[in-house]
């Protein structure tokens, strides 16, 4: 039950961010994401999806205030250059128990993450100086 409440809260927060930033003409959220140890920037774009139609990549986020390695809030299972990358179409999974040193899906205990009903678009943009 607690995981369901966290998932609903994360979905409502993501939706509220999009609505508020669009309504007031402010810049859209620009979260950073780890993909297999490489750091990417992103731009959340307003979009409407039917989760039953189309492919999405899994995205992982902490909801307890912690972040992953170097303060990055998200980890993705796939990114640009991967054959299975879906161009920045995401399904969000959340946890209250995250590893602050993680920078790839392989570093995560996926059993700790609860799926949400949040689907959104956020293309990943390479960052200079990745190593």
Tell me: the pLDDT tens digits for 79-121? 888 999 988 888 999 999 889 999 999 999 999 999 998 888 8
So what's the pLDDT on residue 19? Answer: 44
Q: For the stretch 3-19, what's the b/e string if a residue is b when 16 or more beta carbons lie within 10 angstroms of its beta carbon? A: beebbeebbeebeebbe
Domain residue ranges of the chain, discontinuous segments joined by +:
2-126
pLDDT over 90 percentage in the chain: 36
* Cα–Cα distance for residue pair 7/95, rounded to 1 Å: 9
pTM for the model: 0.73
70 confidence band (pLDDT: 50, 70, 90):
very high
């Amino acid at each position: 039950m607690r995981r369901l409440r966290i998932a609903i809260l994360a979905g409502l927060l993501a939706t509220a961010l999009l609505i508020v930033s669009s309504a007031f003409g402010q810049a859209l959220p620009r979260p950073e994401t780890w993909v297999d140890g490489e750091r990417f920037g992103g731009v959340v774009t307003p979009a409407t999806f039917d989760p039953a139609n189309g492919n999405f990549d899994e995205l992982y986020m902490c909801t307890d205030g912690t972040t992953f390695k170097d303060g990055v809030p998200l980890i993705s299972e796939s990114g640009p250059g991967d054959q299975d990358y879906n161009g920045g179409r995401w399904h969000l999974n959340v946890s209250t128990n995250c590893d602050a040193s993680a920078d790839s899906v392989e570093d995560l205990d996926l059993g700790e993450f609860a799926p949400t009903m949040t689907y959104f678009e956020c293309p990943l943009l390479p960052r200079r100086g990745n190593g």
